[in-house]
Structure 1
Amino acid sequence: MTRPSAWLSVPGRRAWALLTERPLSLYAVSVLRIGYGLLYLVFLLREFPHRDEMWGPGSPWTPALARQLFDQTGWFSVLTLSDSRIYFECCYAAALVVCALFALGWRTRAVSVLFAVVVSSFHARAIFMTDGGDNLVLLMALYLVLTASGRRWSLDARRLRTSSAGGSTGRWRPRLPPQLGAARQTLVTTLHNCGLLVIGLQVCFVYGSAGLYKVQGGTWGAGTALHYVLNLELFQPWPALSHWVDGHAVAIAVVGYLTVLLQVAFPFVLFGRLKYPVLTMLLGMHIGIAVLMGLPLFSGVMIIADAVFLPDRFYVAVARLCRRVVRRPGVPHAVSGAHAGSVPKQGSPAPLARSHP
């Protein structure tokens, strides 16, 4: 049978091979899985005392009103299937468990679907209380369903290594016929790479659109936009700190221009080394937003999303450095898997065909 890439041009065959031969950035999507799982877990724990007023039967936006809105918008939430308080408490407890399991990477493929259901359900239940950070978490939860985010730094990966070291095949399903196994491998790899591509495009769209929107504003062009932001009572968790920063007019004007420049230029610097200083400056920008404007959820969402643009060799180097730091003196350092200094092979046919993604 003719391969699908046989009729493509040389650039087309290269793109097809890049898309279907092996999953890319497995460490990066694992960071996204851990980051968003922990972030939403902390968010639900933070709002635990207010859960009934926000999402429960005691909310001013009652389940009946939410269902009426769903009939018009097509949204869905498992929280509105019953008005019982016991049902809501069980759903909340289940949501906490799902977030923890997703961050740990236990049965990641199935749990990623449950995590997307959890995020979409809480988002839809209190739709009028959401902001840009909540919207991006929802999108990322949906995109991560497509990815093989449990291949690295997860309980799934640990279980596979343990079973392989013990001589077990590590299969949780019957062995597939060769052609069907190869087709499954290609499908899983293609879905993963497509999901990764969509995540990258989404982040680029967020930064690019935000930068172009700022360019149209007169206050950003005049360098005074941050002055007005720092004087909004709604975004003043530390009024004294905001007033102190506002006293440095030249500095906040420079930061304002730099913010616009970074956001507009972001999609164009991703394929060179310039992306590293840009990502570092964006990290500082989001930390400033979290501290000065009191938007830690939004900042955390964007910081985690930026991690998708760092290569796997970066995460391997960071992991190796962390092991050296925490290693006790006199204890030999064991390197498992690939040789030190190299990225483990990503996506050989056998593990993809027999392991749980």
Structure 2
Amino acid sequence: MSARLHSAVARGHARVSGSALGPYQTAIVRIGFSFTWLLFLLREWPHRRELYGPGGPMSWDMAHRLLDTNRAFSALIWTDSTLWFEIVYTLGIVSSALLLLGWRTRTMSVLFMLGVLSLQNRSIFIGDGGDNLIHLMATYLALTRCGQVWSLDARRTARQKEPSRDTTGIVLWAVLGLVLLWAQLFTEARLFLTADGPLPGVGWGTVLWGLWIVQAGWWLVRRYAPGEPRTVLDVLANLAHNGALLVIMGEVCLLYASAGWYKIQGSRWQDGTALYYPLHLTYFSPWPGLADFMASNGTLVLVLTYGTVIMQVAFPFTLLNRRAKNVMLVLLMMEHLGIAIMLGLPFFSLAAIAADAVFLPTAFLLWSGARAARLRDRVLARVRRLRGPRAPERAEEPQARTLIG
């Protein structure tokens, strides 16, 4: 018995440390959350200053005092310059788009996290449950190897036969180091980067400089020590990835379990009328006619109210059975689509669906990826046909040179 247990433990250790589990699941989570945040930033572009900038109800001084108390991170507190706000907001859009495409995912995942934290912590009274979910998942994604598949990084790695100099990566690393040095020495950031940060006794400066140094170490080992040092770093990266993936899965389970059990304690959820009330709120009724139709059907309201509670409470337990879990995922995603349409909360629903995607089966993701690739190839082929055939390039004729002595 002890020999079997030892063998099982050894296999489990080899699997956890030898590979980054769930590459397709983490890739779809990366795509889902970066896409959601990108759409949100683009939609709120005309109102960005009122939401997070100098035109908002929460002044820079108020935000400065608040963050000095709770030690949350926000690059918008480094200076009250309007130009700096525009730079941070624009970089938030750029980092979201590049993370979506999977370009330099290690760096972009960190920048994506900093962009989310900077904007959301600048105005903490703006947002809903979807923003809280993006806030959490952006932090976890920075610890994952989310660019192994379905990314420009994966395509570049597949084309490279041996490690290259990677000039682009070196320039990006140097520029980010200079920005961090400027922030630490010449802005208000020195007060926040040296104080307690994400962990007691560990400031944000320690975290950011640590990540910057790790990036340099990773490149040096990959370039000049591809043997045992590279293996050790791969094992550490796999452990961090798998740990973060486990936390993401646990976070989704906790989200549904807590939401369901809190609903059970509410009298309106117990009598089956909870859904009736938001359907009559103007703020949550983008389609008043449809909302009135649903609210007028008591049986439908009752079924949807009880169904919501049952699905949320039962979801963590359905993970014990693959078929039950897949059916529950479909029902939950349909529920979130209904929330997006009926209550006008598209970004909350997109964030929730992106979080649910971590439990999607690999076979389904591979099938979806193949279908998307075929669709992409068809679109590109159609574009080429519309452009017409390319003109054949003329071969260069050798020019004879006559030497006259």
Structure 2: give runs of 5+ residues left out of the alignment: 167-218, 382-405
Q: 1:244 aligns with which of 293, 315, 337?
A: 293
- 1:290 corresponds to which of 331, 334, 340: 340
Q: Residues 245, 155 of structure 1: CA spacing in aligned structure 2 closer, same or farther, 3 A cutoff?
A: same
- The residue correspondences of 1:53-202 to structure 2 (distance < 5 A) are 53-164=50-161, 168-170=162-164, 172=166, 173=219, 174-176=223-225, 178-202=227-251
TM-score, normalised relative to structure 2: 0.75
Is the CA contact (8 Å cut-off) linking 2:318 and 2:324 kept in structure 1? yes
Aligned length: 321
Q: Distance in 2 between matches of 1:17 and 1:314?
A: 26
Change (3 A) 1:260 1:289: same
Per-residue CA distance 1:278-314 (angstroms, 9 max, x = gap): 1111111001111111111111100011110013222
TM-fit CA distance, 1:13? 3.2
- How far is 1:66 from its partner? 0.2
**Which residue of 37, 42, 45 maps to 2:42?**
45
Corresponding residue to 1:217 among 266, 275, 278: 266
Distance 1:289 1:156 in 2: 35
Give the Cα separation in 2 of the matches to 1:287 and 1:310. 17
Q: Distance in 1 between matches of 2:20 and 2:313?
A: 29
Show structure 1 runs of 4+ deviating over 6 A: none
Asked if structure 1 preserves the Cα contact closer than 8 Å seen for 2:264 and 2:270, the reply is yes
Question: Alignment partner for residue 324 of structure 2, among 270, 274, 280?
Answer: 274
Question: Cα–Cα, structure 1 residues 327 and 102, in superposed 2: closer, same or farther, change >3 Å?
Answer: closer
* Per-residue deviation, residues 50-93 of structure 1 (Å, max 9, x unmatched): 11111111222111110011111111211122222122112222
Question: Structure 1: any 5+ residue segments left out of the alignment?
Answer: 1-5, 332-357
Distance 1:17 1:229 in 2: 50
Q: 1:252 to 1:43 in 2, by over 3 A?
A: same
Counterpart-to-counterpart distance in 2, 1:279 and 1:18? 26
Q: Which residue of 1 aligns with 2:403?
A: none
Larger-Rg structure? 2
Structure 2 counterpart of 1:275, which letter? K
Tell me the SS of whatever aligns to 2:323. Answer: coil
Deviation at 1:276, TM superposition (A): 1.3
- Structure 2 distance, partners of 1:63, 1:268, is 46
Which AA in structure 1 matches 2:292?
A: H
Provide closer, same or farther for how the CA distance between residues 76 and 324 of structure 1 changes in structure 2, counting only shifts above 3 A: closer
Q: Which amino acid aligns with 2:15?
A: L
Superposition deviation, residue 28 in structure 1 = 1.1
TM score, norm. by length of structure 1: 0.85
For residue 170 of structure 1, report the CA deviation from its aligned partner.
5.0
- Alpha carbons 2:89, 2:115 under 8 Å: kept: no
The 8 Å contact of residues 160 and 170 in structure 1, kept in 2 or not, is answered as no
Aligned positions of 1:263-342 closer than 5 A: 263-271=312-320, 272-324=322-374
- If asked which structure has higher relative contact order (CA below 8 Å, sep 6+), I would say 1
Which whole-Å CA distance do the structure 2 matches of 1:10 and 1:209 have between them? 37
Determine whether 1:232 maps to 2:281: yes
1:255 equivalent among 304, 315, 331: 304
Taking the aligned partners of 1:171 and 1:294, their CA distance within structure 2 comes to 49
Pair 1:31 & 2:28 matched:
yes
- For the residues of structure 1 that align with 2:164 and 2:346, how far apart are their CA atoms? 40
Pairwise mapping of residues 14-25 of structure 1 onto structure 2 (< 5 A)? 14-25=11-22
Calculate the aligned-residue CA RMSD, in Å: 2.0
| Letter paired with 2:273 | T
Identical pairs, percent: 44
